[in-house]
Amino acid sequence: MIFEAILLTIITASTPLVIASLGELVTERAGVLNLGVEGMMIMGAVGAFAVAQMTGSPYIGVIAGIVSGAVFSLLFGFLTLTLVANQVATGLALTILGLGASGMLGESFVGIPGIKLPAIAIPLLSDIPFIGPILFKQDIAFYLSIALVLGINWFLFRTRAGLKLRAIGDSHGSAHALGINVIRTRYLAVMFGGACAGLAGAQLSLIYTPQWVENMSAGRGWIALALVVFASWRPWRVLIGGYLFGAVGIAQLHAQIIGQEFGIAIPAQFLSMLPYVATVVVLVLISQNRRTTLINTPASLGKPFVPDR
């Protein structure tokens, strides 16, 4: 079925957006604004592809992608949390560094066929007509994205550790006065965000397009940042928003095919703009309701914290 094939493509395209956005959501809930999602994602992509090629195992490649993103995020954490550098400038620098470093590290892997991560079929459930192949015969990244939504939602709103993390994001000074270790919690949140970005990158180079292409993240890190705002820092809304943005990205491919059938020449450059135009439109619409945005935004987001001040 054509409709089933389209849904499968949308799920594959949306999964990295959902995973990267969830990691950034946790980071921002702790009061840290990391604009380096794009850089961490591309480092995860090249790390996963390189290790999968060297070991012959895409699963080890996925682990390498997660580790690459987490380790790369430590650079951001050290600069912003220990040296108290500006978070916005450091995040932008991290993205530029990641794009350059990944291009250099992945130069020898360009043009080499990748090792695709196989789909995992859940017995019995995968045999259900239509729903089975879509939901229960997917790759491990899809299952992890759903698990992350459930786990992060439970962690943030049902556990003491999640309450502490949200308290730090809302008022790091008050949290510190209550004896919560702000810097340690933020380091852990930053590393978690980096690990999720690395996993999203691994999904790109081992599942979505099993090959290494320079700058293959193609702005998805920036869309992930917008998704967090779109979702009002709520995990379930990230899932919905991720699939909406993923559907817009896939729509550009089908729009070009439909245009050719009707003899309408739609410029490829215009179609490639659609996901980013949608991002801008969504952010503009969200900004209209400033009261809701201010209520949901962590009050200490982007603000540096020094314990002895």
CA 188 – CA 94 distance, rounded (Å): 18
The secondary structure of residue 273, as a DSSP letter, is H
Question: What's the confidence (pLDDT) of residue 290?
Answer: 67
- The dihedral through the CA atoms of 55, 59, 62, 67 has a sign that is negative
The 10 Å Cβ neighbour count of residue 9 is 17
CA 62 – CA 115 distance, rounded (Å): 11
pLDDT confidence band for 267 (50 / 70 / 90)? low
Cβ contacts of 269 within 8 Å, gap of 6 or more? none
Percent of the chain whose pLDDT exceeds 70: 89
> Model's pTM, two decimal places?
0.91
The secondary structure of residue 138, as a DSSP letter, is E
pLDDT confidence band for 293 (50 / 70 / 90)? low
Phi, psi of 120 (to 5 degrees): -110, 115
CA 246 – CA 270 distance, rounded (Å): 17
Spell out the domains of the chain, with CATH numbers in brackets: 2-296 (1.10.3470)
Question: What's the confidence (pLDDT) of residue 124?
Answer: 84
CB contact at 8 A, 202 and 15: no
- Can you read off the two tokens belonging to residue 127? 């045999």
CA 166 – CA 161 distance, rounded (Å): 9
CA 34 – CA 98 distance, rounded (Å): 13
- Structure confidence by residue, pLDDT tens digits, 3-24: 777 788 889 999 999 999 999 9
Q: Are strands 137-138 and 120-121 parallel, antiparallel or unpaired?
A: antiparallel
Please report how the helices 58-77 and 37-55 are oriented relative to each other, as an axis angle in degrees rounded to 10.
Answer: 150
Question: What's the confidence (pLDDT) of residue 163?
Answer: 96
Q: What is the dihedral of CA 134, 273, 222, 204, to 10 degrees?
A: 40
- Going from the C-alpha of 104 to that of each of 68, 194, 228, the distances in angstroms are 15, 20, 30
Average pLDDT value for the chain: 89
Residue 37 buriedness (CB in 10 A; 0-12 / 13-18 / 19+):
buried
CB contact at 8 A, 220 and 242: no
Residue 205 buriedness (CB in 10 A; 0-12 / 13-18 / 19+):
buried
Percent of the chain whose pLDDT exceeds 90: 62
Q: What's the whole-number mean pLDDT along residues 253-275?
A: 65
- Structure confidence by residue, pLDDT tens digits, 196-215: 999 999 999 999 989 999 98
- Can you read off the two tokens belonging to residue 178? 């209550």
- Going from the C-alpha of 57 to that of each of 50, 60, 262, the distances in angstroms are 11, 5, 45
